[in-house]
Chains A and B, each alone.
Chain A
């Protein structure tokens, strides 16, 4: 499946050799790495593209090539996209005019006639987008499913007679839709198997819910076992689990920082991190997405100038980044961030919501992916929703930190603790990934996910689509750009029995609407091939193959091969 030559050893070994090679002769091998990174783009890249890869003096920190690309929007496509939004806006105003003069029936919520003189309850203009754009293509979201959302899912068929304002169910079920939308990275979203059995057993023993907080009578022995297991999984001293992933971020960042502290957060951080940062009352400064120069500049300014008016030194500087950014598919430059953190004595909060279980040779997340020491990251946070088929989040780190959070975190004091079947699901799936249940299922799944990701991304690139993000990230955003294509893509894929997630403005920048595929270890090669052929067919139909650069299949090899040759010299 991967295009590795027969002589190439497994991933781990190559990385080791590369690392040793770098230690032996820094300048020579660095130059060749640098050269190899530059040679590859020159062969098949257009100048206006933004190919971002590990260059300059930071090469030594990466034990494998860091290939991310965010190809620029073609100008014609951008102009046509604006034209599309312009036409939609004009028609939106026209329809609003017709609705106002009662020529057309109005479906949206309106105030009662008697309350006309009151302060308005609904702001008409704020609903403009929802009424006139979202409603037209609303059938692409919130589709009801009636089976477990694994690699394949069953959907309830629905139709609408009034252009998506109301839906009716025909009663038929669309069976076996290939599911490219669920965050099911390791395929644990299943209702049979050891995880489901043990969860069912525990429900019989402990009940469905705990109905209390951790600090009162909601602390079960299963919670303690789970926390020990999570700490062992991540390679840190101690961990704490919470019932809700969003709440883990928003309730714990206020416990860690407060007034007089500085939070440096990435541009594209999730809303839970932003909410947590705002609730804490610290000063927030935003650095450009994954841009280490921007982060360093902010750090230096913060340390040199101190707090805004008093110029006192900051009590704490906390850098908040995510492992994988799900909208862009990019991976954080962790070695460089840790280097900066150590140099400027800041703290690091790493949110591994999408990367835990999905990256790394052993599935231990982005820290494992880069081969770094988990003790370098001060606060490791993650969720169990994506790779473990459960719900909830964890925070892991030093023993003192976690003990502090046990008494000071809002979640620990006021929120209900995780319910027992969910705890059991996580324990079983985590043991499976670690290999402690005696089988190699976990290991196989981690490897399968990596292979599926590389294969899928390579094939999509070869077909000519614009794909964002890192080569190793299982989140694959494919650009659609125009608003009409968002709806068309979702519907055409469903007609051909493939379920995808499409996202548009305002969740993404105005011209960058995309379809986001999430690769799973549960996808077999046949499923991926079928999905790819369908995507290619729909791509030809809708003219989605915007990419200006064409990759020859032979040149799509990762850099490892070229580096291998240099070391042999």
Chain B
């Protein structure tokens, strides 16, 4: 379809993320992935959220930051062949709406993930003798007794996934390095 048609838009890939309904489709896609993973019978909800987070980050990393070039020929004589999709977006202009949206989504996702799986962060004083016997409040409002701590540590390790957070920070930090 590209052959013989005349267009002044050199690289249509630059406009894809700005088109109507793309952001909504992206969110719905994450939702669909989550629902599919939820149907795995032996996975608990925190594990499913973790998997959603990880698979989403992996897919986005591959699609936006690994695959280079365009799936069609462009009339720019190959300038876009060395650029990943992230670099091609909006012709390299930084901090456009789409870039901000795609930066924020993995961060939001990892926060939701953490919220579901009760992380190990606490803000309360541990040294007070009155508190220590009853349990420690964590920032999400629950109390942590010795029994829960062991269970949470198990979940927390899986979820607060070093991998997950590092992925999200990588995708968020790459804009700085990929500026051209």
Partner of A507, one of B2, B15, B16, B69: B2
**Does the CB pair B72–A271 fall under 8 Å?**
no
- Top 5 A-B pairs ranked by shortest CB distance? A78-B21, A271-B6, A128-B71, A507-B5, A129-B72
1/0 per residue, CB under 8 A from A, across B3-23: the answer is: 001111100100110011110
Q: Does B126 contact A (CB under 8 A)?
A: no
Once bound together, how far apart are the Cα atoms of A180 and B20, in whole Å?
29
Complex: how many Å from CA A78 to CA B28? 12
Q: Which B residues lie within 8 Å of A267 (CB)? A: 8-9
A211 at the interface (CB under 8 A from B): no
- Whether A82 contacts B72 in the complex (CB less than 8 A), given A506-B12, A510-B12, comes out as no
> What separation, in Å, do the CA atoms of A123 and B73 have in the docked complex?
10
Other A-B pairs beyond A73-B21, A506-B72, A509-B12, 11, CB < 8 Å:
A73-B20, A78-B24, A82-B22, A123-B69, A128-B72, A268-B8, A270-B8, A271-B6, A271-B7, A272-B6, A510-B19
Q: Which residues of B lie under 8 Å from residue A274 when comparing CB positions?
A: 8
Fill in one digit per residue for A54-86: 1 if any B CB lies within 8 Å of its CB, else 0. Answer: 000000000000000000110100110111001
* Also in contact, A510 and B1, with CB within 8 A (given A78-B20, A78-B25, A265-B8): no
Q: Please, which residues of chain A bring their CB within 8 A of the CB of B2?
A: 129, 506-507
Flag whether A511 is at the interface (Cβ < 8 A).
Answer: yes
With both chains docked as a complex, state the minimum distance between the C-beta of A151 and any C-beta of chain B, in angstroms: 23
Select B70's contact among A126, A269, A271, beta carbons within 8 Å.
A126
Q: Verify B1–A82 contact, CB threshold 8 A.
A: no
Q: How close is A44's CB to chain B, nearest CB, in angstroms?
A: 22
Q: How many angstroms from the CA of A130 to the CA of B29 in the assembled complex?
A: 25
Q: Is B99 part of the binding interface, using a Cβ–Cβ cutoff of 8 Å? A: no
**Known contacts A270-B6, A503-B1, A82 near B70 by CB under 8 Å:** no
**Residue in chain B with minimal CB distance to A75:** B21
Smallest beta-carbon distance A323→chain B, Å: 15
Given A123-B81, A126-B71, A129-B72, A79 and B12 contact (CB-CB distance below 8 Å) = no
B47 within 8 A of A: no
Number of residues in B with C-beta < 8 Å to the partner?
27
Docked-complex contact A79 and B72, CB < 8 angstroms: no
C-beta contact mask, A278-291 vs B, less than 8 Å → 1, else 0? Answer: 00000000100000
A126 touches B73 (CB 8 A): yes
Nearest CB in chain B: distance from A288 CB, A? 12
Given A75-B20, A272-B6, A509 and B71 contact (CB-CB distance below 8 Å): no
CB-defined A-B contacts under 8 Å, sample of 5: A128-B71, A270-B6, A270-B8, A327-B7, A507-B7
Which residues of chain A are within 8 angstroms of B107 by Cβ–Cβ distance? none
Which B residues are in CB contact (< 8 Å) with A270?
6, 8
1/0 contact trace for B47-72 toward A, CB 8 Å?
00000000000000000000111111
CA distance A510 to B25 in the complex (A): 14
| Interface pair A503/B5, CB less than 8 Å apart | yes
**A509-B24 Cα distance, complex, nearest whole Å:** 17
Question: A101–B175 Cα gap in the complex (Å)?
Answer: 36
Q: How large is the interface on A (under 10, 10 to 19, 20 to 34, 35 or more residues)?
A: 35 or more
Q: How far is the CB of B152 from chain A (nearest CB, A)?
A: 37
Q: How far is the CB of A328 from chain B (nearest CB, A)?
A: 12
B20 x A126 contact (CB < 8 A): no
A contact residues around B20 at 8 Å (CB): 72-73, 75, 78, 511
**B28: nearest chain-A partner, CB-CB:** A79
CA distance A72 to B22 in the complex (A): 14
Per-residue 0/1 for A500-535: is the Cβ within 8 Å of any B Cβ (1 yes, 0 no)? Answer: 000111110111000000000000000000000000
**Which partner residue on chain B sits nearest A269 by CB separation?**
B8
A163 touches B (CB below 8 Å): no
Per the bound structure, the CA–CA distance linking A271 and B81 in Å amounts to 21
- Name the contact of A271 in the complex, choosing from B8, B15, B16, B29 (C-beta under 8 A): B8
Within 8 A of A (CB), among B61-111: 67-73, 75, 81
Cα A97 to Cα B28 in complex, Å, equals 27
Check B1–A504 contact: CB distance below 8 A.
yes
With both beta carbons as reference points, the residue of chain A lying nearest to B73 in the complex is identified as A126
- Give chain A residues whose Cβ lies under 8 Å from the Cβ of B5: 503, 507
Contact assessment for B1 and A134 in the assembled complex, using a CB-CB cutoff below 8 Å: yes
Q: How far is the CA of A141 from the CA of B6 in the complex (A)?
A: 16
- Given A511-B20, A511-B21: A505 and B6 interface contact (C-beta under 8 Å): no
Residue pair A125, B67 in contact (C-beta under 8 Å): yes
* Complex CA distance for A75 and B28, rounded to whole angstroms: 12
A125-B71, A509-B15 given; A75·B1 CB < 8 A: no
Q: Nearest-CB distance from B63 to chain A (Å)?
A: 9
Given the known inter-chain contacts A123-B81, A128-B72, A505-B1, please indicate yes or no for A75 contacting B24, CB distance below 8 A: yes
Contact indicator A141/B1 (Cβ below 8 Å): yes
Q: How far is the CA of A82 from the CA of B72 in the complex (A)?
A: 17
Chain A residue, CB-CB nearest to B10: A274
Interface pair B21/A126, CB less than 8 Å apart: no
If A72-B20, A82-B25 touch, whether A286 touches B8 (CB-CB below 8 Å) is yes
Q: What residues of B have a CB within 8 angstroms of the CB of A509 in the complex? A: 12, 15, 19
Residues of B close to A272: CB separation below 8 A: 6
A268 → chain B, closest Cβ, in Å? 7
* From B7, B25, B69, contact of A126 by CB (8 A): B69
**A142 CB to closest chain B CB, in angstroms?**
9
- C-alpha spacing A81/B22, complex, angstroms: 10
Q: Which residues of B contact A126 (CB under 8 A)?
A: 69-73, 81
Docked pose: A273 CA to B25 CA in angstroms: 35
Least Cβ–Cβ distance between A485 and chain B, in angstroms: 14
> Chain A residues near B22 (CB, 8 Å)?
78, 82
Interface centre among A81, A268, A327, A507 (most CB of B within 10 A): A507
When chains A and B are docked, how far (Å) is the Cα of A271 from the Cα of B4?
10
Q: Mark B142-177, 1 if CB is under 8 A from A, else 0.
A: 000000000000000000000000000000000000
Interface string of A19-50 (1 = CB under 8 A from B): 00000000000000000000000000000000
